[in-house]
């Protein structure tokens, strides 16, 4: 198979049918990569893998034993990886004063500790003798830079992990490892934010705050993930690249504005 990733071995964790990880994995496969998709739901992971011609391995990023098993199976089957993408996340919306310790712990496990251990294993595999390095990609969020109501645990862990990616880039650049974050804005066709953005009132508010005048779609984020995985970005590392139509130049709508629009409509 020819393409911009021909001969590369890519791992995408957090991939499930219809989400951003799915779209990235499909594009990598179309561009010639040998793709492994990983997710905590075994049936969904197997379904996606079969559909796109990938390897599917059930693994929960928050479970260390799952990560050990994931990387051991990849090593056995492929002999290593060249690209590792973390597309896992949980879009928790809860007011700051109401966020429970259980929710905080779950968020930290999914969006900080789990990714930390995932990329530890990817770095170890990419930096061993003869491996030649590779590209690490963390899916972050525009909200790691601009505010959104009732989203502190999500935003804080995403922002913190962007800095971890810079630390990896700094320490492991000499091993040929590049580490970058991709920060989407609202994506209209994925489960996390698509439902709200498909409401005309909400879409209009976001269009006002995005210089390019519309929400993004998953394919546009996947294009950026392809760039970071390919040789075209061979001198790009330690960066957070925003795929948000310029939204960081403005802001997210306040929830009160959304509520007011719905009140007017009713």
pLDDT of residue 188: 84
Per-residue pLDDT for 262 more than 70?
Answer: no
pLDDT of residue 195: 55
Percentages (nearest 5) of helix, strand, coil residues in the chain: 55, 15, 35
- Domain assignment present for residue 35? The answer is yes
Residue 182: helix, strand or coil by DSSP?
strand
pLDDT of residue 47: 96
Contact of 98 with 48, CB cutoff 8 Å: no
d(CA 114, CA 152): 18
Residue 103: helix, strand or coil by DSSP?
helix
Count the domains in the chain.
1
Mean pLDDT value across residues 84-109: 97
Residues 19-54: tens digit of each pLDDT: 999 999 999 999 999 999 999 999 999 999 999 999
- Domain assignment present for residue 105? The answer is yes
Per-residue pLDDT for 83 more than 70?
Answer: yes
- Domain assignment present for residue 264? The answer is no
pLDDT of residue 200: 79
Q: Which residue in this structure is represented by tokens 């990896």?
A: 168
d(CA 186, CA 243): 9
Do the bridges between strand 55-58 and strand 34-39 make them parallel or antiparallel, or are there none, so unpaired?
Answer: parallel
Q: With CA atoms as reference, report the closest residue to 154 among 242, 82, 89, 212.
A: 89
d(CA 113, CA 42): 22
d(CA 167, CA 18): 31
Q: List the structure tokens of 87.
A: 């597309």
- Domain assignment present for residue 70? The answer is yes
Mean pLDDT value across residues 152-179: 98
- Domain assignment present for residue 258? The answer is no
pLDDT of residue 5: 98
Residues 62-81: tens digit of each pLDDT: 999 999 999 999 999 999 99
What does pLDDT average to over the chain? 94
pLDDT of residue 42: 96
Which residues are part of the catalytic machinery?
154
pLDDT of residue 58: 98
- Domain assignment present for residue 3? The answer is no
d(CA 173, CA 167): 10
d(CA 53, CA 71): 19
pLDDT of residue 255: 81
pLDDT of residue 91: 92
Burial of 51 (0-12, 13-18, 19+ CB in 10 A): middle
Per-residue pLDDT for 254 more than 90?
Answer: no
pLDDT of residue 133: 97
**Domain hosting residue 183, numbered range:** 9-190+215-249
- Domain assignment present for residue 84? The answer is yes
Per-residue pLDDT for 218 more than 70?
Answer: yes
Q: List the structure tokens of 146.
A: 């601009």
Mean pLDDT value across residues 174-201: 83
Q: List the structure tokens of 53.
A: 């011609």
Burial of 144 (0-12, 13-18, 19+ CB in 10 A): buried
- Domain assignment present for residue 4? The answer is no
Contact of 193 with 187, CB cutoff 8 Å: yes
CATH number for position 222: 3.40.50.720
Question: What is the pTM for the complete model shown?
Answer: 0.94
Residue percentage of the chain with pLDDT more than 70: 96
Per-residue pLDDT for 266 more than 70?
Answer: no
Residues 115-141: tens digit of each pLDDT: 999 999 999 999 999 999 999 999 999
Per-residue pLDDT for 196 more than 70?
Answer: no
């Amino acid at each position: 198979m020819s393409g911009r990733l021909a001969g590369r071995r890519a791992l995408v964790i957090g991939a499930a049918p219809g989400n951003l990880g799915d779209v990235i994995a499909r594009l990598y496969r179309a561009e010639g990569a040998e793709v492994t998709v990983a997710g905590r739901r075994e049936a969904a992971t197997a379904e996606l893998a079969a559909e796109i011609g990938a390897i599917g391995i059930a693994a929960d990023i928050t479970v260390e034993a799952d990560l050990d098993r994931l990387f051991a199976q990849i090593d056995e089957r492929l002999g290593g990886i060249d690209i590792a993408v973390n597309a896992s996340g949980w879009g928790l919306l809860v007011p700051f004063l109401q966020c429970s310790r259980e929710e905080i712990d779950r968020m930290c496990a999914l969006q900080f500790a789990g990714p930390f251990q995932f990329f530890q294993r990817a770095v170890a595999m990419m930096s061993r003798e003869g491996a030649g390095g590779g590209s690490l990609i963390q899916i972050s969020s525009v909200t790691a830079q601009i505010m959104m109501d009732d989203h502190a645990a999500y935003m804080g862990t995403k922002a913190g992990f962007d800095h971890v990616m810079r630390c990896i880039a700094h320490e492991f650049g000499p091993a040929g490892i590049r580490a970058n974050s991709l920060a989407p804005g609202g994506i209209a066709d994925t489960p996390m934010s698509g439902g709200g953005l498909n409401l005309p009132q909400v879409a209009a508010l976001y269009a006002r705050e995005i210089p390019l005048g519309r929400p993004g779609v998953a394919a546009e984020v996947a294009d950026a993930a392809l760039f970071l995985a390919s040789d075209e970005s061979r001198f790009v590392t330690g960066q957070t690249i925003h795929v948000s139509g310029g939204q960081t130049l403005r802001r997210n709508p306040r929830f009160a504005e959304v509520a007011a629009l719905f009140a007017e409509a009713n």
